[in-house]
Structure 1
Amino acid sequence: MKSVEQLKSEIENLPPAELRELAQWLAERDADAWDEQIERDAAAGSLDFLVEEAREEQRRGKLREL
């Protein structure tokens, strides 16, 4: 397996079109990982405090319609 430094060196030499393709792939991969983490956190109840905060803001009349 190549080291990060080797990969960086190879990336720096990519043609612009391939660099854009790689950047898009990395962005999609990162977004997918983020979505999976949010789903795990939600399923585990780690985000329940956000629901409670929103309910409290609603009770105080501080929420606006989207």
Structure 2
Amino acid sequence: MHIMLTLDQIESAILQLPSHEVQQLLEWLSDLDYQNWDQQLEEDIKQGKLDDLAAEAIAEYEAGECKEI
């Protein structure tokens, strides 16, 4: 059986966690966010949504408009 919790229920449960488990949850959420971001970036690349930005960056580099950091 699949139980769906509301956001209020989840927030209430989080407030009851010991601080070390809250830290673990934060790390897990951060990892999840990065994974979602990476997936979205890969999809955007496949769809060509970043082609114009890449071309602009290459043109600036070739024109010597970049500086080392």
TM-score by length of 1: 0.88
Rounded to whole Å, the distance in 2 between the matches of 1:57 and 1:26 is 36
Match of 1:37 among 16, 20, 40: 40
Q: Secondary structure at the match of 1:45?
A: coil
| Higher fraction of helix | 1
Letter in 1 for 2:48: G
Q: What is the aligned residue count? A: 66
Q: Which stretches of structure 1, 4 residues or more, deviate above 3 A after TM superposition?
A: none
Greater RCO structure (CA 8 Å; 6+ sep): 1
Structure 1 gaps of 5+ residues are: none
Query: 1:59 & 1:9 partners in 2: Cα distance?
Result: 55
Residue in structure 2 matching 1:57, options 55, 60, 67:
60
- Could you say what secondary structure the match of 1:14 adopts? coil
Counterpart selection for 1:28 from 28, 31, 43: 31
